[in-house]
Amino acid sequence: MTPNAIADHFDTTRQAVSKHLRILTECELVTQKQQGREIYYQLEIDKMKEIDKWLDQFRKIWETRFNQLDNLLATIKKQKK
């Protein structure tokens, strides 16, 4: 998609979208391809999968902690009744 097409999907300026795209390009999460006067951006799925794999270890830790917190809050709620 072009930056204008992407910006149409968000409540933000085209300049803000361009700034985000520049950062995502630097991180190799999107690639850009010029066709005539337009620049098209494409998501790099393999890079996103790599990030998801890295985040998964932390996701499991936080899910466990949130479940423990839920259990604790449920216990406290029962004790107050």
- Domain limits of the chain? 1-43, 45-81
Q: For the whole model, what pTM was predicted?
A: 0.66
State yes or no: pLDDT of 81 exceeds 80. no
DSSP state of 27: T
State yes or no: pLDDT of 30 exceeds 90. yes
State yes or no: pLDDT of 73 exceeds 80. yes
State yes or no: pLDDT of 50 exceeds 90. yes
Under a CB-based contact definition with an 8 Å cutoff, are residues 55 and 46 in contact? no
Q: Which CATH architecture has domain 1-43?
A: Orthogonal Bundle (1.10)
- What is residue 80's predicted lDDT score, i.e. its pLDDT? 86
In angstroms, rounded to a whole number, what is the distance separating the alpha carbons of residues 66 and 71? 9
- What is the percentage of the chain residues whose pLDDT exceeds 90? 93
